[in-house]
Amino acid sequence: MKKKFYFGTNTKMYKTIKDTRAFVSELQELTKDISRDDITLFVIPSYTTLKDANELKNEDLLMIGAQNMGWEEQGQFTGEISPLMLQEIGTDLIMVGHSERRHVLGETDEQENKKVICALNHNFTTLLCVGETEEQKEYGISEEIIRIQLKKGLYGVTKEMLDKLWIAYEPVWAIGVNGKPATKEYAEQIHIVIRETLVEFFGEEAGEQIPILYGGSVNRENAVPLSRMEHIDGLFIGRSAWQADNFNAIIRDVLGL
Ligand code: PGA
Q: What is the pLDDT of residues 99-122, one digit of tens each?
A: 999 999 999 999 999 999 999 999
pLDDT of res. 2: 63
Q: Directed axis angle between helix 244-255 and helix 17-31, to 10°?
A: 30
pLDDT of res. 3: 82
User: Could you report the per-residue pLDDT of 185-219, keeping only the tens digit for each?
Assistant: 999 999 999 999 999 999 999 999 999 999 999 99
pLDDT band at 75 (very low <50, low <70, confident <90, very high): very high
Active site residue 205: no
Q: What are the CA-CA distances from residue 231 to residues 16, 24, 166, 195, 227 (Å)? A: 35, 29, 13, 8, 9
Residue 221 to residue 76: CA distance in whole angstroms: 47
- The alpha carbon torsion through 42, 24, 181, 99 (nearest 10 deg) reads -60
Percent helix, strand and coil across the chain, each to the nearest 5: 45, 15, 40
Question: 251 φ, ψ to 5°?
Answer: -60, -45
| 20 close to 45: Cβ distance less than 8 angstroms | yes
Atom of ligand 1 nearest to the CA of 217: 5
Atom 2 of ligand 1, residue of closest alpha carbon? 238
Q: Which of 100, 112, 132, 170 is catalytic?
A: 170
Average pLDDT across the chain, whole number: 97
Domain that holds residue 122: 5-255
Q: Which of 98, 100, 112, 132 is catalytic?
A: 98
pLDDT of 1 above 60: no
Based on C-alpha coordinates, what's the Rg of the chain?
A: 17
Residues with CB under 6 A from ligand 1: 10, 170, 175-176, 179, 215-218, 236-239
Q: How many CB atoms lie within 10 A of CB 250?
A: 24
Residue 117 to residue 123: CA distance in whole angstroms: 10
CATH number at residue 85: 3.20.20.70
Q: How many domains is the chain built from?
A: 1
Active site residue 98: yes
